[in-house]
């Protein structure tokens, strides 16, 4: 079976092929036809007799239609979830490989360990595994309303659910309670796990939860969050989290549960 390649350029954009309106990952024949110089070529995964490789290129002179480079985030919802997660893994590993070249203990140039995905210091033996930064993301529910906030760095007035990085010594539940309170002044309860999503920008893993409002009035911190409010799930802001993100999956779950409740009450939807 023809191998598939996740190729990233200097701007960390992914090489894709557009064919009959579909976005495809280039195969080995495609890469050969482009006569592209690759570096850091490595096997990503072999599954169901399909091999996926990843690499970088600094040679983009031969790239033209139907091939192009696109930001990985722009492919959310356009690639299927399995393919996007594999592309995210490749992106993550390339970033790790480029960032961690020397031992943080003795400054010796690291080498790849042959039997696992880790770098080893030939001088002191220190192991450097790919860095993963866990972050929580949570939907906060109050009656039939959802807490949505605008982060200071969000583009185009986009609203989403609350998120933040886990600190040392914290459980996920501790982190959720702290982040929601720090950013909005709200106390929460009944935290339930929802799902997770690799988010390699640069090295996060998003762990998603659903929780309920307990007490407090909204008071944004003004630094990370510049606006927040309770929104009825049938009257959400126009610009919300992008499709394909786990944030959007949380929002869509709340919308779907609201619609199911209306149907059960005998209210016709649509």
Q: Please say whether the beta carbons of 63 and 34 come within 8 A.
A: yes
Q: Give the architecture-level CATH label for domain 133-264.
A: Alpha-Beta Complex (3.90)
Q: What is the pLDDT of residue 157?
A: 82
Token pair, residue 73, equals 């985030």
What is the predicted pLDDT for the residue at 62?
Answer: 82
- Length of the chain as a residue count: 270
The domain spans of the chain are 4-98, 100-130, 133-264
Beta bridge partners of 192: 210
Q: Render the burial of 81-115: b for 16+ CB within 10 Å, e for the rest.
A: eebbebbbbbbbbbbbbeeeeebeeeeeebeeeee
Q: What is the pLDDT of residue 40?
A: 84
Q: Which of 163, 151, 143, 160 is nearest to 214 (CA)?
A: 143
CA atoms within 13 A of residue 210's CA, in its CB half-sphere? 15
What per-residue confidence (pLDDT) applies to 270?
A: 34
- pLDDT score of 268: 37
Domain 133-264 in the same topology as domain 4-98: yes
DSSP-derived 3-state class of residue 60: coil
Three-class secondary structure assignment of 68-131 = EEEEHHHHCCCCCHHHHHHHHHHHHHHHHHHHCCECCCCCCECEECCCCCCEECCCCCCEECCC
Question: Is the omega angle on the peptide bond into residue 17 within 30 degrees of 0, that is, cis?
Answer: no
Q: What's the pLDDT at 221?
A: 85
The fold adopted by the segment(s) 4-98 is Nucleoside Triphosphate Pyrophosphohydrolase (3.90.79)
Per-residue pLDDT of the chain (270 residues; tens, 9 = 90+): 689 999 999 889 999 999 998 999 999 999 999 988 898 888 887 777 788 999 999 888 888 899 999 999 999 989 999 899 999 999 999 999 999 999 999 999 999 999 899 999 999 999 999 999 999 999 999 988 999 999 988 777 899 999 999 999 999 999 999 999 999 999 999 999 999 999 999 999 999 999 999 999 999 988 889 999 999 988 999 999 999 999 999 999 999 887 655 455 443 333
């Amino acid at each position: 079976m023809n191998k598939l390649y996740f190729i990233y350029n200097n701007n960390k954009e992914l090489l894709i092929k557009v064919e009959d309106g579909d976005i495809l990952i280039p195969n080995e024949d495609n890469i050969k036809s482009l006569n592209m110089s690759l570096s850091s070529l490595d096997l990503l995964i072999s599954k169901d007799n399909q091999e996926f490789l990843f690499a970088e290129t600094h040679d983009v002179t031969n790239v033209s239609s139907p091939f192009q480079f696109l930001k990985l985030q722009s492919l959310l919802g356009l690639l299927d979830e399995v393919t996007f997660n594999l592309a995210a893994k490749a992106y993550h590993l390339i970033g790790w490989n480029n960032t961690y070249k020397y031992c943080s203990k003795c400054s010796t140039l690291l080498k790849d360990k042959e039997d696992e995905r880790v770098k080893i210091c030939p001088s002191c033996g220190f192991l450097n595994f790919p860095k993963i930064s866990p972050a929580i993301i949570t939907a906060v529910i109050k009656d039939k309303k959802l807490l949505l906030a605008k982060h200071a760095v969000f583009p185009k007035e986009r609203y989403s659910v609350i998120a933040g990085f886990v600190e040392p010594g914290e459980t996920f539940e501790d982190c959720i309670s702290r982040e929601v309170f720090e950013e909005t002044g709200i106390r929460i309860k009944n935290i339930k796990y929802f799902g997770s999503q690799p988010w390699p920008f640069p090295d996060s893993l998003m762990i998603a939860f659903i929780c309920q409002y307990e007490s407090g009035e909204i008071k944004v911190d003004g630094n990370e969050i510049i606006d927040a409010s309770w929104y009825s799930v049938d009257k959400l802001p126009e610009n919300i989290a992008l499709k394909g993100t786990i944030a959007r999956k949380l929002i869509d779950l709340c919308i779907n549960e609201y619609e199911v409740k209306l149907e059960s009450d005998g209210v016709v939807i649509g």
